[in-house]
A and B are shown apart, each in its own frame.
Chain A
Amino acid sequence: SQTIHQWPATLVQPVGSPLSLECTVEGTSNPNLYWYRQAAGRGLQLLFYSVGIGQISSEVPQNLSASRPQDRQFILSSKKLLLSDSGFYLCAWSGQGFAYEQYFGPGTRLTVT
């Protein structure tokens, strides 16, 4: 069966520091991968999605970037964190094609101080 991992689970970082969040998927190949951010008590904001290695689409221009160095690895990065980057970050995967639902990782809670 497929599983999706995210780490770290929680992170506290000072303003101006770099960020790297990692997401890996097991049990499937060539998945679509997604990064979402969720502010407290709010809905999901799609940040990036990827349909293949090295293919990244950005939904919201901002302080963050994403990379997909391997088929089942998706990384969210920032060179300098802002206070507004605080939130809950969710990684998700789906099969290729829009018939497929998304499956989510456990998330990373990021607090920028």
Chain B
Amino acid sequence: AQTVTQSQPEMSVQEAETVTLSCTYDTSESDYYLFWYKQPPSRQMILVIRQEAYKQQNATENRFSVNFQKAAKSFSLKISDSQLGDAAMYFCAYRDDKIIFGKGTRLHILP
């Protein structure tokens, strides 16, 4: 069965610095999709970025980028120039016919 692991329950980063959140997954499939979601204190889940497994190029959305290593089954999220509004829970998710979420990483931004 597919699994998603986020090994960092909590992280902190200084405002304006860069932080990387880790995610690994396990699957025997070759075709799938990966996502990062953000859940701020309002608890509204917001899609941050998506990556198609068949694409070698890493996805980028403004200050958010991923490092997708398919062979290593790794999908980390890099946040550049961290802002106070980035403070949230971040969930990594894997999808083939079902979507599976990791347990999340709580990110604190230090002013």
A interface list, Cβ under 8 A from B: 38, 41-44, 46, 49, 88, 90, 92, 94, 98-99, 101-104, 106-107, 109
Q: How far is the CA of A44 from the CA of B42 in the complex (A)?
A: 15
In the complex, what distance in Å separates the CA atom of A43 from the CA atom of B45? 12
The proximity string for B residues 9-39 relative to A, scoring 1 for CB distances below 8 Å and 0 otherwise, is 0000000000000000000000011010100
What are 15 of the A-B contact pairs (CB < 8 Å)? Answer: A42-B103, A43-B102, A44-B91, A46-B98, A46-B99, A49-B98, A98-B96, A98-B99, A99-B52, A101-B35, A102-B93, A104-B45, A107-B43, A107-B44, A109-B43
Interface size of B by Cβ–Cβ distance < 8 Å?
Answer: 24
With a cutoff of 8 Å between Cβ atoms, the chain B residues found around residue A43 in the complex are: 91, 101-104
